[in-house]
A and B are shown apart, each in its own frame.
Chain A
């Protein structure tokens, strides 16, 4: 069991294939790759874990990419429950409310654009993990 803030305690919930592709084996964290889940379903999964006492390590919303633009979401919760945190639960509930506020855009994304959205999600996750995102890509 990892103590709070230790990468051993990081459970990365993601539907982003680039995260699995480039981050697996690069740290002591655990990646739960769930390609069948939507952005919203990843949020709901994280919310339920936070309600059950898991710590939320990263903010559930991106800094500027809107939740209706990108299909990809990665966020980090604790592997183990450490006790209920009302602030974290509030962040998760608000994030889902924000997601529902944006109307679906209805565009069909071609592969190169999907890769770019994967890249942004991956890069933001690397920022949280303190991993050099670019170095990871060039292996």
Chain B
């Protein structure tokens, strides 16, 4: 199945009375976007108001607490539409043609629970740790309706849908625009791929999805990943939004929807596809709380790796703590099928970096890529402008009592920064 991505480079965002993309500038009428968000009944029920802001690279701006980051895309040819099962109908995506508004993102921010996640600094030392500081961000700040305290699952759903709807609305503006650049991505059927690349090693990507409960969930074609068994996805399906994030906890190593759309493991495997390896498919598997689920899902992952006659598998994790167990179970069981693995994780090695990095381990996990130590302490300078609120900075993963100092600087662990130790390897800083 072949997908063509047409990249429309966005160089500026401006508020305007009309909505359009012209000469690389996105013009947005916030009222028009807001009206579109409120067409959804859940949004209407649970979100009292939205405010919109624009954050550009290099500005003295801090966005917090960040919920999701989404790249606007629109399906212009072929079956289905973006975010299938959530925004578009459930129809298999990943073929045809999709336009991408590159260089920008829709960022949703606002409170859901009283301990909140995620900082994006657009300049200063914090900006180096988040890829989103390099994007033009259209920030949508949601304010909950009265009574939301007893309905946080519903409110979280409404904010998630609002972000996806905003991205869909913006993406639609790129439908008739001629892309600046196009690229094609194609994987093959099992037999076809073996015939085309008889001498190349067969490699798949085992993509682990956080799937545990409120603020810890991921959805595949609209299905809560915790209710699914391990299965196969074509890599191009993720590029059309088949996987979306409902994961708001642990800012540094959660995968936002932007990460899923632009998964660097997928991008790098495609870059090597047909040259040094045969990129067979993605295997998606969950990270549940119930131990028998972990057992079952990792058994299935290993079984599929064997069934596909793989030579190698890359395994990426999401989150920290009990997903370490899924990671090690997957790695160990896949290796025992005779398939070589490389795992991608991050570390909680203590502020001095001396503690054991993961909550689980096995000698078969002997090829590891790390996204960095999430416990490392960073001091973030005061910014001239805050989009969202600083109310929660003291009560944020990686923060501590007194994190927010009187002079406006923040001392905290890297955990607070959105995407800082991402376990797909989507990072700006590297030791390579």
Does B273 reach chain A (CB closer than 8 Å)? no
Does B356 reach chain A (CB closer than 8 Å)? yes
- Among B113, B214, B287, B348, the most chain A Cβ lie within 10 Å of the Cβ of B214
Q: Which of A94, A107, A123, A137 contacts B360 (CB 8 A)?
A: A94
Are B291 and A69 within 8 A (Cβ)? no
**Nearest A residue (CB) for B150:** A137
**Among B54-62, B256-264, B395-403, which stretch is in contact with chain A?**
B395-403
Does B430 reach chain A (CB closer than 8 Å)? no
Chain A residues with CB under 8 A of B152? 116, 119
- Among B150, B213, B397, the most chain A Cβ lie within 10 Å of the Cβ of B213
Does A101 reach chain B (CB closer than 8 Å)? yes
Are B294 and A109 within 8 A (Cβ)? no
Task: Give Cα A60–Cα B154 distance, bound, in whole angstroms.
Answer: 27
Number of residues in A with C-beta < 8 Å to the partner?
Answer: 46
Q: A65-B249, A95-B359, A133-B153 are in contact. Are A124 and B212 (CB under 8 A)?
A: yes
B90 CB, min distance to chain A CBs, angstroms: 21
Encode contact with B along A100-122: 1 for CB under 8 Å, 0 otherwise. Answer: 01110111111011011101100
**Nearest A residue (CB) for B248:** A64
Number of residues in B with C-beta < 8 Å to the partner?
Answer: 51
Q: Which of A57, A112, A117, A126 contacts B291 (CB 8 A)?
A: A57
Q: A101-B356, A124-B212, A137-B153 are in contact. Are A59 and B322 (CB under 8 A)?
A: yes
Encode contact with A along B376-402: 1 for CB under 8 Å, 0 otherwise. Answer: 000000000000000000110101111
Chain A residues with CB under 8 A of B409? none
Task: Give Cα A54–Cα B247 distance, bound, in whole angstroms.
Answer: 32
**Nearest B residue (CB) for A134:** B153
B242 CB, min distance to chain A CBs, angstroms: 21
Q: A113-B395, A123-B213 are in contact. Are A69 and B321 (CB under 8 A)?
A: no
Chain B residues with CB under 8 A of A67? 321
Are B321 and A126 within 8 A (Cβ)? no
A124 CB, min distance to chain B CBs, angstroms: 4
Encode contact with A along B92-113: 1 for CB under 8 Å, 0 otherwise. Answer: 0000000000000000000001
Chain A residues with CB under 8 A of B153? 123, 133-134, 137
Are B397 and A65 within 8 A (Cβ)? yes
Chain A residues with CB under 8 A of B301? none
Does B254 reach chain A (CB closer than 8 Å)? yes
Q: Which of B214, B321, B324 contacts A120 (CB 8 A)?
A: B214
B419 CB, min distance to chain A CBs, angstroms: 14
A49-100 with Cβ < 8 A to chain B: 56-67, 69, 88, 91, 94-95, 97-98
Q: Which of B115, B290, B321, B395 contacts A62 (CB 8 A)?
A: B321
Chain B residues with CB under 8 A of A63? 210, 212-213, 216, 249-250, 287, 289, 319-323
**Nearest B residue (CB) for A4:** B292
A27 CB, min distance to chain B CBs, angstroms: 14
Does A5 reach chain B (CB closer than 8 Å)? yes
5 contacts between A and B (CB under 8 A): A58-B290, A61-B321, A94-B359, A101-B348, A112-B149
Q: A-B pairs with the 3 shortest C-beta distances?
A: A64-B250, A134-B153, A123-B213
- Which residues of A are interface residues toward B (Cβ below 8 A)? 5, 56-67, 69, 88, 91, 94-95, 97-98, 101-103, 105-110, 112-113, 115-117, 119-120, 123-128, 133-134, 137-138
